[in-house]
Structures are given as C-alpha cells and as structure tokens.
A and B are shown apart, each in its own frame.
Chain A
Amino acid sequence: MESFLKTLTALMLGLAALGASAGGTDIQIQDPWVQAAPPNVKVVAAYLEIKNNGDKPQILTNASSPAFDEVGIHQSVMHGNMVHMEQLKELTIPPHASVVLNPGGLHLMLTGAKKPLNIGDQVPMTLTFHSGQKIEAKAIVRPGQTEGMEDHQHMNHSGHETHKH
C-alpha cells in the first residue's frame, strides 16, 4: 500500500511537472539543437540531453523527423586519431541520470534533408522509447559551439568586443 502511494505520488508529481510538455513521462529533453551546415549538405547531426527522472531505465529505440528521410542514433568513436561512426540500435538512459549527445560523440544523424536548413529553423523530431512513449522535440538550427561558448564569434565585423570568459 505504501509503495503504491509512493508510486502514485511520484506519478502525480511527474505529471504536474512534465504533463504539459511531455505527456506525463519521466523523460525530459533538454536543449535540442541541430548543427548548422552549408546549404548543399544533406546529412546533419542533432544534439540534445535526455534526462530520465524515473526509477526505471529508459531506452531510446527510434528517432524520426518529417524534415528528413531518416534519423539514426550514431556515435563517433576515436581509435587513435581515426574517427569511425557507429550506428547504435538503442540508447539507454539509466534511472535518475541523463545522457548528453554532444559534438564529437553521441548524436542523432539526420539524413536526406528535404530542404536546406537555415540558422534559427526548428526541426521537429519524435523520439520513441522502448516503453512505447513518444516524445516530441523541436531542435533549433544553430552554429556549432565548442564547450558551450564562443557564440559571439559569429558576430564579427560589427565592432563587437570579444568578451573575456
């Protein structure tokens, strides 16, 4: 009974916290973005953080986007200085943990762009988990960043002073 109540409370809290955006799940998508690329590029990468606030592992099994022919879960792997890309069948997010997809490692590979992407565009994506849950996310197209800074590099030629970090 106690555990039932606990579950119920957790569920209610979860619903309250996430209900509106994610349809009542333990999964939270944070900062989804697509690496801006030259207009003639048909293959781009999307990055995001997947947070699992629940007690059970969550397994991402599929991703799709109406703006692309195909979306795959990929990982760039370094062997010495050689970089290989590996396709993953699934991606597990442990309970109360998050997995971050960042440049140079885990990413969603979006292939077959239906039209060229511009900076600021939003790419709708659907992430499907093993539990059957589907999470919608909108990834914004932006220039790649290194270590989450340096965005101002793109505002040159405007007399803009470079900030010191």
Chain B
Amino acid sequence: MKNQSGALTKKILALLLVIAVAVTAVIGWRLGKGTSVRPPAEIEDYLFWQAKDLTDFKLMGADSKTLGLNDLKGKWSFIFFGYTHCPDVCPLTLGILGKAFKLMEKDPAAFQEVQGIFISVDPKRDTPELLKEYVSYFNNKFTGVTGDAAQLDALARQMSALYTIHPKEPGKSEDSYLVSHNSTVFLVDPQGRLYGRFPPPQTPQEIAEVFLKTRTFYNERSKKRWNLF
C-alpha cells in the first residue's frame, strides 16, 4: 500500500514538474521576445550576444583611491589593458580613444556618461601615481589603475583579456622586459555588465559612432522592458 501511494506521489510530482517547466519556458520565451530586440546591423558585431554581469574587483588608483565594480555603475566605461612602457600600441589606442571621446562631445548627454579606464598589467613598473599622469595626457576622462596579479586577474579573466609578462632578454637591464596584452577596448554598460568590445585596429570615428548608436539602442531597449510590466 505504502509503495503504491509513494509511486502515485512521484507521478504527480513529475507531472507538476513538467507543467512548471513548460509554463516557465513559455513565460521565458514571451519575456525574451519582448526584451531581446536585435541591435541595428551596424553595431551588432561590436556587442555581446548577451551582456555579461561582472563580479566585483578592486584595482588601485592614484591618491589611495580604489576602483571597483560600483565605480563602473551609472557610466559607460571604456576599458583598455596595457602598460606605459609600451611605445606603439598603447599610446596609439589611448590616443584613438581620447579622440573618440572628443567626437562624443557633440552628444553632451552621452559624453557626460563616458569614462575611460586604463588598466596597467605591469604593476612592477607602473605605479598608480605614474598612471595618473600618463592617462591624463590623453584625456581628462581617463583613470589609470593597476593591481597585483590576483587583483588584475579578477577583472581581466572576466573579460578574457589575457596578458603575458615576458622574461627580460639576456644582457639587458631588469626593467627592459616586454609585455603582451589584449588590445581590445572593452565597453561596460551603466549596470556594470560587459556589453561590447572594439577589436583592433580601431578608429576614433568608429568608436564614437558605434558607441552613440549603442547607447541609443540600450536606452530604447530599457524603456521597452519597463513597458512590459
């Protein structure tokens, strides 16, 4: 008797489970249909299929300031990993990003929301104070931060921004080593989610135009989401 009722309970439970899954799927599909509007073709390639929530991190800036996930919220952040002993690609990319910011000035509301973050993956040579001076040369909306390997990896891994510090060449000074790094400019949205990326080679016009369109798309999509409820 006990066995029979046990089997019945199991059957009912299984049936309930199937119904629950089906209902969830339908609701999810309907919600999904309402919210996952496809971005315009000209910006689609720059955006992640699904924005990725970032987990907290802590990097060190000048004047004992730290930078964490909360500092990204409410802003559009353009993040670039590099190092100051990089003579070619880093000044090139920061110069391009600085010019892109200048182009964004034509849209004051958007311009107000942007910030640039240069993350040095070379904390041995790049102190936060040195970084502050370095980044301000390119644009006054840039912040320079760094951290130890664990602090750097906490964010770099979430963005798949790999880097390698190479051993110095024999016979050269201790400080002459080279660093390989990702030269993508990452875009984090005001909710602190990895939203898009600008792979190399970038141009100022490309970054500015794609960003302004992305922001418009993002804002319209947020409005639609609210209308649903």
Contacts and interface: CB of A to CB of B under 8 A. Distances in A.
Interface of A: 35, 37-45, 74, 76, 78, 81-85, 87, 103-105, 107, 109-111, 143-144, 146-147, 150, 153, 156
Contact of B102 (A38, A39, A41, A156): A156
Nearest to A75: B88
B182 A143 contact: no
Nearest to A69: B173
Contacts of B96: 146
Contacts of A81: 182-184, 199-200
Given A38-B134, A40-B133, A143-B95, A82 B87 contact: no
Interface in B164-191: 169, 176, 178, 180-184
Contact of B182 (A42, A43, A82, A153): A82
B162 interface: yes
B204 A104 contact: no
* Size range of the chain B interface in the assembly: 20 to 34
Nearest to B137: A38
B66 interface: no
Contacts of A40: 84, 130, 133-134
Given A40-B130, A85-B178, A146 B203 contact: yes
B21 to A, nearest CB: 39
18 contacts: A35-B87, A35-B88, A35-B91, A37-B137, A38-B137, A43-B85, A45-B87, A45-B88, A76-B89, A81-B184, A82-B182, A83-B180, A83-B182, A107-B87, A109-B87, A150-B99, A150-B204, A153-B204
B160 to A, nearest CB: 9
**What 8 A-B pairs are tightest by C-beta distance, nearest first?**
A38-B137, A45-B87, A144-B95, A103-B92, A83-B183, A84-B180, A45-B88, A81-B184
B43 to A, nearest CB: 19
Contacts of A41: 84, 134
